[in-house]
Structure 1
Amino acid sequence: MKDTAFRELCDLHTHTRASDGMNAPAENVRLAKEKGLAGIAITDHDTVAGIEEAIAAGQQYGITVVPGVEISTVAAGRDIHVLGYYIDAEEPELLGRLQTLRATREARNALILEKLHGLGMPLTLQEIKDGLGRPLRPDESIGRPHIADALVRKGYADDMRDAFDRYLGEGKPAYASVPRITPEEAMQWIREAGGAPVLAHPGLYGDDELVKRIIASGQPVGIEVYHSDHGIEEEERYLEIANQFGLIPTAGSDYHGERQGVIFHGDIGSRSVPLRTLEQLRIRSGLNEK
């Protein structure tokens, strides 16, 4: 049965198997329909490979699908993610730029595997790919959740959370960082592709002053105030920052699907915004700024 409380609400942060999610894009849309949501954004890491399928599913299920992306960047030595909404997913320059980011991700993955081997946990890229149960498309990528899943399957970790807490999370023994673009560059890429840049899950960075500096220099149109890993105090704090800088407060579950019975980070619809937020993002997108 649909939860009527979700009616006219949208989850603006979900991942599919085009990056490190578990589901096909159409399945995310179907689940949104099942939850009673009005809309969902597809925001895979450094790829737009899942958008076409999701839009077709949206037409089938009567769900608004927001074409999006989540771009990986670095600032002050921290991994920072930037969401882009209403991008032109066929814009050639954007596609080329995202390809370079996926190549960077592959280099990062190689470093992680090297570190795991040094920790006495040999793991190959092929073993990770075998866990997908299907061929990896050229415009898809392997992420840390895939590596964590393989660690669990090989008995090196108890579950996904254990794999991140002990090995793969920032500052942990197998964590690896490689040179990436800045958040400001990612925001400009998104604007040039007609989209609206939004700073993702600021509570995960542990540095609100850095968050404010990125906002001041990058000029995003929004900030992800409501996220599955934000507590109430963090949501209140980032809503104040949104008001301070005149940003659109957005919300997303950061849904990655279910692995070993655990949903990462939150279930579809666990964080959501009203439909009117989509129009606000459209109005302030790069397309309208040109």
Structure 2
Amino acid sequence: MTNADLHCHSTYSDGLLAPADVARRARDGGVSLWAMTDHDEIAGQREARAAAEALGMRYVEGVEISVTWANRTIHVVGLAIDSGNRGLVDGLAATRGGRDGRGRVIADRLADVGIPDAYEGALKYANNPALLSRTHFARFLVEHGYCESTSDVFARYLAEGRPGFVPHQWATLEQAMGWIQGAGGTAVIAHPGRYKYTQIEFAALFDVFRDLGGGAIEVVTGSHTPDQYREYADVARRYGFRASRGSDFHAPGEGRTELGSLPMLPDDLTPVWRDWQ
């Protein structure tokens, strides 16, 4: 069985470890096929590939693209991409452009509920200021004792409907799919269990994604519960999607699972990596 981990992050977006350190952690967790998928950024791919190959792991280039669909944010992972593709590079640069302004508005809203200096505090955690994210704000709030964990921060301050939540218009689904496919990659809906859609909206998302050439869905991921493993395995069967697997690792101790430690995919599903050379 292939121990694949095809969704994780480094200091190039909102992870706490450099690509080489993530690679070592993946190898130590038993991963044999790895992809680093930073948010809207592919600058760390050369480092990640070199580290993976030095450790004896197979590596595929990846990225996680922020998308606005039906007025909410979803994420689409691109796997086995060519990170040098000009259309992808330019598209990601454009979608990164709004993060700083959004971060300043988040900080203003947090100040309104008694949390000052959040913008400067979040920047301390952002190795790449152009990719300032809610996770960086969450780490600042934990550091200063407003919450005990980053998940608690999201629940109290940064999730939709909370005082620090700021919606943003990211790439369209069509744009993200075009960038991934133009770079020779496979598009994967990331952690669908996290999205607050109705059954009708989910059905529309899966239909549109498939019609645009979307090939796979994350089934076993660190963002899903065991019940959701089964739910999205059924979605993969129903729509003919291939199945992906990834920890969504950001930092030691922050998520539900470690690199390489997830259950294997159900035997009857076709893994997204089946035909990769």
**TM surpasses 0.5:** yes
2:260 matched to 1:266? Answer: no
What is the DSSP-based 3-state SS (H/G/I as helix, E as strand, rest coil) of the residue aligned with 1:52? helix
2:157 matched to 1:167? Answer: yes
Pairing 1:3-18 to 2, within 5 Å after superposition: 8-18=2-12
Cα 1:186–1:131 change in 2 (3 A) is closer
Which of 191, 203, 213 in structure 2 is aligned with 1:212? 203
Which of 67, 77, 98 in structure 2 is aligned with 1:73? 67
Counterpart residue type for residue 110 of structure 1: R
Q: Which moved more, 1:25-34 or 1:122-131?
A: 122-131
Counterpart residue type for residue 119 of structure 2: L
Match of 1:221 in 2: 215
Rounded Cα–Cα distance in structure 2 between residues aligned with 1:106 and 1:265: 28
Counterpart residue type for residue 263 of structure 1: E
Q: Is the 8 A contact 2:244 2:271 kept in 1?
A: yes
So what's the TM-score if we normalise by structure 2?
A: 0.90
Which of 173, 177, 196 in structure 2 is aligned with 1:183? 173
- Alpha-carbon shift at residue 137 of structure 1 (Å): 4.4
Cα 1:64–1:92 change in 2 (3 A) is same
What is the DSSP-based 3-state SS (H/G/I as helix, E as strand, rest coil) of the residue aligned with 2:254? strand
Cα 1:214–1:23 change in 2 (3 A) is same
Rounded Cα–Cα distance in structure 1 between residues aligned with 2:274 and 2:122: 40
Match of 2:145 in 1: 155
Match of 1:122 in 2: 116
Counterpart residue type for residue 177 of structure 2: M
Which of 79, 82, 92 in structure 1 is aligned with 2:76? 82
Counterpart residue type for residue 94 of structure 1: L
Counterpart residue type for residue 213 of structure 1: A
Q: Is the 8 A contact 2:66 2:76 kept in 1?
A: yes
Match of 1:286 in 2: none
What is the DSSP-based 3-state SS (H/G/I as helix, E as strand, rest coil) of the residue aligned with 2:132? coil
- Alpha-carbon shift at residue 98 of structure 1 (Å): 0.6
Rounded Cα–Cα distance in structure 2 between residues aligned with 1:181 and 1:239: 27
What is the DSSP-based 3-state SS (H/G/I as helix, E as strand, rest coil) of the residue aligned with 2:223? coil
Cα 1:179–1:169 change in 2 (3 A) is same
Determine which structure has the larger strand proportion and give its number. Answer: 1
Q: Is the 8 A contact 1:43 1:68 kept in 2?
A: yes
- Alpha-carbon shift at residue 273 of structure 1 (Å): 5.3
Identical pairs, percent? 34
- Alpha-carbon shift at residue 265 of structure 1 (Å): 4.4
Q: Is the 8 A contact 2:20 2:48 kept in 1?
A: yes
- Residue ranges of structure 1 left out of the alignment (5+ in a row): 1-6, 284-290
Aligned length in residues: 269
- Residue ranges of structure 2 left out of the alignment (5+ in a row): none
Q: Deviations along 1:131-151, whole A, 9 cap, x unmatched?
A: 45xxx447x622211111111
Cα 1:166–1:156 change in 2 (3 A) is same
Cα 1:265–1:177 change in 2 (3 A) is farther
2:186 matched to 1:196? Answer: yes
Cα 1:281–1:215 change in 2 (3 A) is farther
- Alpha-carbon shift at residue 210 of structure 1 (Å): 2.3
Match of 1:4 in 2: none
Match of 1:29 in 2: 23
Rounded Cα–Cα distance in structure 1 between residues aligned with 2:256 and 2:65: 18
Rounded Cα–Cα distance in structure 2 between residues aligned with 1:202 and 1:22: 24
- Alpha-carbon shift at residue 192 of structure 1 (Å): 1.1
Rounded Cα–Cα distance in structure 2 between residues aligned with 1:181 and 1:8: 32
Which of 13, 38, 41 in structure 2 is aligned with 1:44? 38
Counterpart residue type for residue 155 of structure 1: G
Rounded Cα–Cα distance in structure 2 between residues aligned with 1:164 and 1:281: 38
What is the DSSP-based 3-state SS (H/G/I as helix, E as strand, rest coil) of the residue aligned with 2:35? strand
Q: Is the 8 A contact 2:60 2:79 kept in 1?
A: yes
Q: Deviations along 1:82-111, whole A, 9 cap, x unmatched?
A: 000011111122111111111122222122
The runs of 4+ residues in structure 1 deviating greater than 6 Å are none
2:225 matched to 1:231? Answer: yes
